[in-house]
Amino acid sequence: MENFILNNGVSIPAIGLGTWDNRDYNSIVETLKSAFKMGYRHIDTAGFYANEHLIGRAVKDAGIRREDLFITSKVWASERGYIKTMKVFEKTIADLQTDYLDLYLIHWPASPKRYADWDLINAETWHALEDLHKAGKIRAIGVSNFWVHHLEPLLKVANVRPMVNQIEYHPGYKQQEVVDFCKSNNILVEAWSPLGRGKMFSVDLLAQMAQKYNVNIAQICIKWCLQNGVLPLPKSAKPERLKQNIEIDSFEISTSDMAQINALDLGSSSGEYPDEVGF
């Protein structure tokens, strides 16, 4: 698997394995064992997923070396702020049975529609991540679900530029303004829900593309992300799907077909907008 290189020189596997909504230990350990055999090395989790302790056990049981993995976690909204972030980080690495993270993200920004001091909250949380990074406990730091008006004030006070912004991104919902801003600031965009929570499977254009390239719709979505310079984080517990999601080197989407997919505009599949969520 090819890697992306973050703005601090850290290498990150170009396809990650999403783990949201999987809280069954047997499912997690079997998924990870299958994924590791297929070549996955990038695991994306979060404190909010309530499965970090299960992933920690599963990684140990899978028998793969920690240094061969890239593990991402995130600070949940209720833990924003310097002191809370420092404290919850220790719980995260204890649950994951590791002494460091490869990437740590602010899961959602504090928004101006909900908090009068939203920019200060984001800044204090970010400074905690910076200090953990400086201490060598996190190899790379970033944000998640940040729009441009959240990023701009953060960049003004940041001592370390974010390396990643993880956002909802799939052929139906591209958030192009955010993507363009991140690329112009050398911030890698990661795609959560790159299959649109399954809604992309019913898009006629994508079905036509899948037939044309003799692949499935999930592979089209994942390849489309990569060809747009975005790191996809597909989620599956089925071995055949895991295999298909990572085996996307046999085809290249043409420039004209990329343009057709890029022209799709179906809106968010999750309905979760950073300035509208209730946390």
Q: List, by residue number, the catalytic residues.
A: 49
> Strand, helix or coil at 79?
helix
The alpha carbon of residue 212 and the mean position of all alpha carbons in its chain are separated, in whole angstroms, by: 29
CB atoms within 10 A of CB 9: 9
CB atoms within 10 A of CB 68: 8
**CA-wise closest residue to 175 among 111, 270, 92, 66:** 270
Instruction: Please name the helix (run of DSSP H) or strand (run of DSSP E) that holds residue 42, with its range, or none.
Output: strand 42-44
Phi and psi angles of residue 191, each rounded to the nearest 5 degrees, phi first: -105, 110
CB atoms within 10 A of CB 26: 9
Pairing verdict, β 3-5 and 101-106? unpaired
As beta bridge partners, residue 81 has none
Tokens at 215, concatenated = 């692949």
**CA-wise closest residue to 59 among 48, 47, 43:** 43
